[in-house]
Structure 1
């Protein structure tokens, strides 16, 4: 069997990287085998996307066409720590054949249709690395980073649409930053976004909890790493009081709030005319002022930088340039976006989930 493709899922490796030291073992396996590497959304950031063997993000129909073609045409797929949840599979749109898939898990290994209990990837992977046949090792010379180019039509060349935002944002995220992406348009936006070197991504792809991101942004304070929070207007309204903590603890966090007038992901799931998915509009960019910026304090607080609303691509890029230059300050960029504009990956995931549920229902009838 000719091996052409190596697919990595990584969820269990993310949890085991701390408890079992798996990431180092996985990297040694990758470099030993020289196979092309794909990540699922849960694993984004675990491997430097400039690594010569990295070749894209795989999430079923949410992947770029070139990634889908390469993965589905593979002769053998090695899956490490797979977690086939709805968001991680592009709405259950994986079409991976069990006839050519080997799955490595924490407590078992699955080879095609057979499951081997207690064959632990923590022990198996190092052995496989050591005994990988030298006669099948080929230096991988494929094209890196299957990210499709963005060409905006005339209508969208000034306003801030998702297609533009996720293509441009990496230019303003320094290496080794932490990106916290809220459930909804933000987490789907980063699926196929280019990842700067050393960036850690935090998302809720498994549980889909909303409102966690603003508080979670405080995680980077003690690591001396710049934190970028990507949060929707609806989710922000659940946890806005954490802005007070950011000011109090003198952080330099960058809050990028996507204001598209409501719970956009829910509008796609339940149709756009449900009243409960529309929310009270706030003056989001005034949050620093409301939570005490400039008031006399009994302790020092964060120094505020940009705090404003941007509606055009030019305004966005000007604001983000200020963010890059003022590294010691906390910033709040309210990005006004068209209602019902969404990342392509989100739309495809919703469609895939609907089809999956429809098939399940038909099977039970």
Structure 2
């Protein structure tokens, strides 16, 4: 049974708000994101007494984005907003967390139960007396919802919804009315940790596991495609072990990049169908068995669905189901237990002896080593920037790539072992990654302080247009003295939109900002060795190469920002190809 618990100083009863926060603390939450508002102020009084840190976000949208980033690193996060205006400001971020499976607990301070029952015409409402309307909106973007109205059932409600948040790896929604904040509940419940055991109604027998293994053994040209939900399902280590011991040619989707150790000799980068260079689609189409692990079937992630293989030659591993070549389906299974059983029962002396395919498949490292030295005074181009900047990365770094040119370009990163890459492959809300970086940096600091991870840098690649969406996140980063390195790609506007439509249209222009002054504007300390602020402006390759060797910039301590000047019509070739194909199909 998977449980997480810490000792709690208990009396017979405890206030409901404190109970909730202690439970979150037991599950590993160390900090709470959010914005104060009149319906949640008394709730916030219980944050620090429960052993948690109040982050204090500049706005609710950024708080939701940051909570998402935090959850992707620590496995759960929490966000507090006020009724109506606060929760609606956050709903975009919560929807993204739902779409991309981030376990965020959204706590909303709501009007008292008496006011809810009476249908009082309150501020932050729509004036029609319906004070539950926003909770109904949240039903579409959270996996579970609860309204804590009864002290007798509240502890069980809290435990049930937190369990769902973690096991489903999706946001949940908790309403805490003002008159319930200090309601007393039995604290004896806290002595027993929340049961996080995965229950399944169908267990795969040894014969079922052996049948899967036999499919692998008898295949002539197998192929493994790893997708991004593998991290949400907690099977990253199992998937890497499968890739390692089988030696089967392996690729990831864009969403899955960073999950597989890219140093493995049988790792061939991203499978991008007709636009891919490492794995030709003609080779993939000849594979007689494809193991497709934790897929996200969005058009962006599958290149307009072109990389989804035929079911008849595919074993698809989802969160709680397995489809074997469109002949057998197992439902309601524990996917982690399935992979562990496969690894235990797979006889390595019978692994398929597949020939290496050097003429057809290309390891990503080959592309990095083949790059010629750039001209020092040459303009930094998108075409080679992402491969060249890969030499800046180190093991244990967490790298974030914002939606747009940065996200598409990040597919060309060459990642060292034990690095993580975070991107968006279905929600695609520009501006997400800057506040997400704040949440990631906070989560990483907490894990480092607890000795649960080795220190690494948080490195963000952000476009100038995206930066302008959520720039207040810089304030949150500075306020909490977080270590974040930002590569701001300044291509003078919305380049990805220019490529899609309106290359010279004024609606794709943005106001030029003095980006390197943002940390100062948001109150970063000056000449403070405990929190150094380093900024650089890069206009050519020579300056970029010098920056990558600059120890003051590369140490990852404090706040770093490099503004990289790029042409407004420049993009990686894969993005240009994707846009042209989309235009052709639309005609």
Instruction: Tell me which interval the TM-score lies in, with the shorter structure as reference length.
Output: 0.7 to 0.9
Between stretches 323-332 and 139-148, larger displacement belongs to 139-148
Runs of 5+ in structure 1 lacking a partner? 359-365
Moved more, 218-227 or 320-329: 320-329
3-state DSSP class of the match of 1:334?
strand
Task: Give the superposition deviation at 1:49.
Answer: 0.3
Q: Distance in 1 between matches of 2:564 and 2:328?
A: 49
Give runs of ≥4 in structure 1 deviating > 6 Å: 152-157
Q: TM-score, length-normalised on structure 2? A: 0.55
Q: CA deviation at 1:351?
A: 3.3
The aligned counterpart of 2:219 is: 2
The residue number in structure 2 matching 1:52 is 265
Partners of 2:526 and 2:248 lie apart in 1 by 57
Where 2:307 maps in the other structure, the secondary structure is coil
Counterpart position of 1:276: 507
2-side partners of 1:276 and 1:110: how far apart?
46
> What does residue 547 of structure 2 align with?
319
Q: For 1:266 and 1:82, how far apart are their aligned partners in 2?
A: 27
- In structure 2, relative to structure 1, the CA distance for the partners of 1:154 and 1:175 (3 Å cut) is closer
What is residue 361 of structure 1 aligned with on the other side? Answer: none
C-alpha distance 335-205 of structure 1, shift in aligned 2 (>3 A): same
Match of 1:128 in 2: 342
Which runs of structure 2 are paired with 1:98-177 in the superposition (5 Å)?
98-114=311-327, 116-118=329-331, 120=333, 121-132=335-346, 134-138=349-353, 141=356, 145-146=363-364, 148=367, 158-177=378-397
Tell me whether 1:204 sits opposite 2:419 in the alignment. Answer: no
Paired with 1:140 and 1:16, the residues of 2 have a C-alpha distance of: 32
Q: How many residues align?
A: 351
Per-residue Cα deviation, 1:128-174 (whole angstroms, up to 9, x for no partner): 33444643432775556245466679999711001221121111122
Q: Which moved more, 1:266-275 or 1:79-88?
A: 266-275
Cα distance between partner residues in 2 of 1:80 and 1:295: 48
- Provide the residue aligned with 1:220 in structure 2: 441
Matches of 2:303 and 2:584 in 1, distance apart? 11
Task: Give the aligned partner of residue 185 of structure 1.
Answer: 405
Structure 1 residue 33, shift from structure 2 partner: 2.5
SS in structure 1 of the partner of residue 233 of structure 2: helix
Find the aligned partners of 1:24 and 1:94 in 2 and give their Cα distance.
24
Within the candidate set 329, 335, 338, 2:564 is matched to 335
- Which of 244, 259, 263 is the matching residue for 1:31? 244
* Structure of greater Rg: 2
CA contact (8 A) 2:392 2:548 kept: yes
* 1:345 positional shift: 2.3
User: Does the residue aligned with 1:129 lie in a helix, a strand or coil?
Assistant: helix
**In angstroms, what is the RMSD of aligned CA positions?**
2.9
1:194 aligns with 2:422: no
